[in-house]
Amino acid sequence: MELLLTKNIKKGKPSLNLREYEKAGGYQALRKALKIKPDTIISDVEKSGLKGRGGAGFNTGKKWSFVPMGSDAPKEKYLIANADEMEPGTFKDRLLMEGDPHQFIEGMIISAYAIQATTAYIFLRWAYKTAALKLRTAISEAEEAGYLGKNILKSGFSLTIHMHVSAGRYMCGEETGLLNALEGKRAIPRSKPPYPQVSGLFGKPTVVDNVETLCNIPHIINGGAEWYKSLSRTADGGTKLYGVSGRVKNPGCWELPMGITLREVFNDYAGGMKEGYTFRGLLPGGASTFFMVDEHMDINLDFTEPQKAGVRLGTGTMIVLDDKTCPVGFLHNLEKFFAQESCGWCTPCRDGLPWVQRILQALEEGKGENDDLDTLAFNTRYMAPGHTYCALAPGAMQPLESALKYFREDFMNHITRKKCPWRENHV
């Protein structure tokens, strides 16, 4: 398989500096892109089948096409790289930023040119200290080489990239909450419409894209839309970073063809379960996705096929549940995080998530009651999509809803035995 995103990333080796990146073919895509009309780039990215790698899976070129263009469009536009990787179990963007920072910067420059944005921001997770250092160095090197700043490579296009280190809240990863945070306001979601592509940062047209998404752009420019699309096994184009964490033999993160099956990732790359542990299920895309179990093993992992089975790919970074981990305790840990990270802007999320967290804690402490499962199920409907301002609470309910379906007996045992059976049996 041809590596794109990770071809310059070698385990135990430092990331490439500017000269090394150029020697490996870096910034040739930028030179090529600056000779292409912006609307052609947008069209090619749309045709490539690249979908947003942050979890939503919306066609990237289509998203860009909503930005006003032409002489009547606002002169100030913004591109924002969402590098606030706070999704539990997700670590793919960190790999790209630390391993090949110039690839990321080149992707940002081309993307900004495509939508004619003259200012860009990297909204970075506060804990990513190494990534911040490497990105600042890469930005400085790119400026000195003429790839950033005024009149880039004498093309007439100018771009400034600023680094913004997040205050460290999960809500900042939601694109409109991110915009508010970048403006110095409370990180709460905005009502849509208007969408950021029309009225975003400071009321100007804005595109917010995930780090992995942006890193794909130079490769689409170099290879072409059809070539990029052909790398996938399904209609969604390109390659994808898939990760696995938990009690597997080989936890890690790999670049693989988009649409590879869950069975292949789990067995061939993660190596299956460690000796002494049995697979019960996994969350396929960070914490805010539905559980996938044995019946889902042959699903193609793209942004389309899992939905047909009632599940969702999300970020593609899997958290594995084994037979020696209590599902109720597993869920309690996740829901405690989501409750803590709620911005409190809407009632279902503000009140519902702590309510769920308290019920799960009571079950773990042997204080569960017979109607608790009905109350938990009610909350999965109460915080379903369309009932909240953003996707935080609906995402938090996906692991709970599917756990009640697949691990209901574990929940019932907590109630009938007035204790956590897992602690009794495995500690």
User: What would the pLDDT profile of 109-155 be if each residue is shown by its tens digit?
Assistant: 999 999 999 999 999 999 999 999 999 999 999 999 999 999 999 99
Measured CA distances, 28 to 280, 323, 336 (Å):
46, 50, 47
Backbone angles phi, psi at 182, to 5 degrees: -65, -30
pLDDT tens per residue, range 372-418: 999 999 999 999 999 999 999 999 999 999 999 999 999 999 999 99
Contact assessment for residue 79 and residue 112, using Cβ atoms and an 8 Å cutoff: yes
User: Cα(355)–Cα(380) distance, rounded to whole angstroms?
Assistant: 12
User: Cα(113)–Cα(152) distance, rounded to whole angstroms?
Assistant: 10
Summarize the confidence of residues 153-175 as an average pLDDT: 94
Q: Amino acid identity, residue 53?
A: R
Asked whether the predicted pLDDT for residue 426 surpasses 60, the reply is no
Q: If pLDDT is split at 50, 70 and 90, which confidence band does 422 have?
A: confident
182 Cβ contact partners less than 8 Å away, ≥ 6 residues apart: 80, 121, 123, 164, 201
User: Cα(64)–Cα(41) distance, rounded to whole angstroms?
Assistant: 10
Tokens of 39: 């609307």
pLDDT of residue 425: 64
